[in-house]
Chain A
């Protein structure tokens, strides 16, 4: 279990202080895939680096399995880092080493003998589906293959945790999917707890169990992915689910309503019923459905009719309906 308690990180610039993280409190349970989402500059990369102390927090605690690692002597910190694997957006493979030697790297650091290390590395290359590329060099691999090598490398020291810093942001959608599937599989089969940093909602809804939304150096909200998706409490979460520029595609003055459908209503023709019963037209600006653990959730943004009477009719209908909705501002 990883617990962050009152974590703050402040950088001092010549003329002012920059607060990268402010009072972050999070608990990441063993065996889960925990997502941290935010826009760039929100502080998420700093946050993930505080977990293995690549960044030293200015104040607060980082508890890994109950032990405050900010107080560890350097030697013990280096040992601890071996139990926390990390993968990166730019893969960060050693360019002058072949794939096998890259996967051996953490084992070399740990002082494992060459034979044992290579045997282990070959097994792991099998796990990530690259057994036949052991002798290739990183420059000969595609982005997805490089990330697979990086995942094998992260697994080499039998970590309990893996940190993913924008691990799929440099990959195309299909490759992203396959890398996320691989992470899911590793989480399930090896019981590794995975912490995913991303700016993409699709990464969160594809593999995460729980998510924390970070905005302006603070946690804006936190919860099960399905809950955050269906009833986002913060403006930033809503923006991440439906990017504001898309919601605002229509610049006309019409009032906009965001509807959230949970499983029970996502299969019903709610909008059709509403239009038929109110005898008023609505304009659908955006619609999306997602599936979490077999349950379908949907988001829709509609524009109310310009005629206030008709608009009121619809609002009254919505108030009496079980559908979750709120007016967009």
Chain B
């Protein structure tokens, strides 16, 4: 039995809008986070001891910055970063501001995901490329990233699901989407069924992201196929 409230929200198009906003925020935030996190992850890998271009001090500095942001709980980071959001997009409210905060939280996380994926690439293959006279940039572009691709895609799926979770939290301080509907219509107006419907829809979105992502990663991977 669906409550009147749900039907009202559905007919008003709020539920549909919530789904769309959740997906939109997640996808945009993931994309922007990767623009920052991917190069950062690669730099963390290659400047590390045993990497193709070790720069210990840079690696240390970046590592500390990444760890700093990763160790702050998102809900606190979000509040602390409101001025930054205001500086970047001109407002500390609404989805634009939320995206800024999601990126600040997710980019360091993604950098570590990328780092662990790229570090899986067999050192022998990198050595072979070096022996052929490949420059470090060529090694990154033609060896590290392509060879790590399936693992990078799986990492992107995990990151995306994490960001989806963050985006729901962001609704507590002014974001929109399913999280906001759950809080303002479900929790604050005592409609547990609205909350549960939002939970169900979120789970559904996560499932779809996970399944599609895993399928793409599997399709891309040339290692196990016969």
Where the two chains meet, the residues of A that have a C-beta atom closer than 8 Å to any C-beta of B are 52, 54, 77-82, 84-86, 88, 90, 92-98, 105-106, 108-110, 137-140, 150, 153, 157, 163
Q: Is the CB of A96 within 8 A of B149?
A: yes
What are 23 inter-chain pairs, A to B, with CB distance below 8 A? A52-B131, A54-B127, A54-B131, A78-B134, A80-B133, A81-B130, A85-B132, A86-B131, A90-B122, A92-B124, A92-B127, A92-B128, A93-B128, A96-B147, A96-B223, A105-B142, A106-B132, A109-B129, A109-B132, A137-B225, A139-B222, A139-B226, A157-B132
Q: Is the CB of A90 within 8 A of B124?
A: yes
Q: List the 7 closest A-B pairs by CB distance, nearest first.
A: A81-B133, A92-B128, A86-B131, A92-B124, A137-B222, A78-B133, A82-B133
From known contacts A84-B131, A86-B128, A106-B133, infer whether A94 and B224 are also in contact, taking CB-CB under 8 Å: no
Tell me the complex Cα distance, A139–B135, Å: 26
Chain B residues whose C-beta falls within 8 Å of the C-beta of A80 in the assembled complex: 133
A108 interface neighbour in B124, B128, B142, Cβ under 8 Å: B142
Instruction: Please give the distance in Å from A95's CB to the nearest CB on chain B.
Output: 5
Q: Mark B112-155, 1 if CB is under 8 A from A, else 0.
A: 00000000001011011111111100100011001101100000
Tell me the complex Cα distance, A97–B149, Å: 12
Q: Is B221 an interface residue (CB 8 A)?
A: yes
Q: Contacts A94-B147, A105-B132 known; list 5 others, CB within 8 Å.
A: A78-B133, A88-B124, A92-B124, A96-B223, A109-B132
Instruction: Please give the distance in Å from B56's CB to the nearest CB on chain A.
Output: 15
Q: Looking across the interface, which residue of chain B has its beta carbon closest to that of A95?
A: B223
Chain A residues whose C-beta falls within 8 Å of the C-beta of B133 in the assembled complex: 77-82, 106, 109-110, 157
Instruction: Please give the distance in Å from A105's CB to the nearest CB on chain B.
Output: 7
Taking CB atoms and an 8 Å cut-off, the chain B residues in 139-186 that contact chain A are: 142-143, 146-147, 149-150
Tell me the complex Cα distance, A282–B84, Å: 92
B221 interface neighbour in A94, A96, A97, Cβ under 8 Å: A96
Chain A residues whose C-beta falls within 8 Å of the C-beta of B132 in the assembled complex: 81-82, 85-86, 105-106, 109, 153, 157
Instruction: Please give the distance in Å from B142's CB to the nearest CB on chain A.
Output: 7
Q: Please give the number of chain B residues whose Cβ is less than 8 angstroms from any Cβ of chain A in the complex.
A: 26
B146 interface neighbour in A54, A82, A94, Cβ under 8 Å: A94
Q: Is the CB of A109 within 8 A of B125?
A: no
Chain A residues whose C-beta falls within 8 Å of the C-beta of B222 in the assembled complex: 95-98, 137-139
Chain B residues whose C-beta falls within 8 Å of the C-beta of A163 in the assembled complex: 131
Chain A residues whose C-beta falls within 8 Å of the C-beta of B225 in the assembled complex: 137, 139-140
Q: Looking across the interface, which residue of chain A has its beta carbon closest to that of B130?
A: A54
Tell me the complex Cα distance, A97–B132, Å: 16
Q: Is the CB of B146 within 8 A of A97?
A: yes
Instruction: Please give the distance in Å from A57's CB to the nearest CB on chain B.
Output: 16
- Please indicate which of the listed interface residues B128, B138, B143, B221 has the most CB atoms of chain A within 10 Å of its own CB: B128
Q: Is the CB of A93 within 8 A of B223?
A: no
Q: Is the CB of A109 within 8 A of B130?
A: no
Tell me the complex Cα distance, A79–B122, Å: 24
Q: Is the CB of B147 within 8 A of A88?
A: no
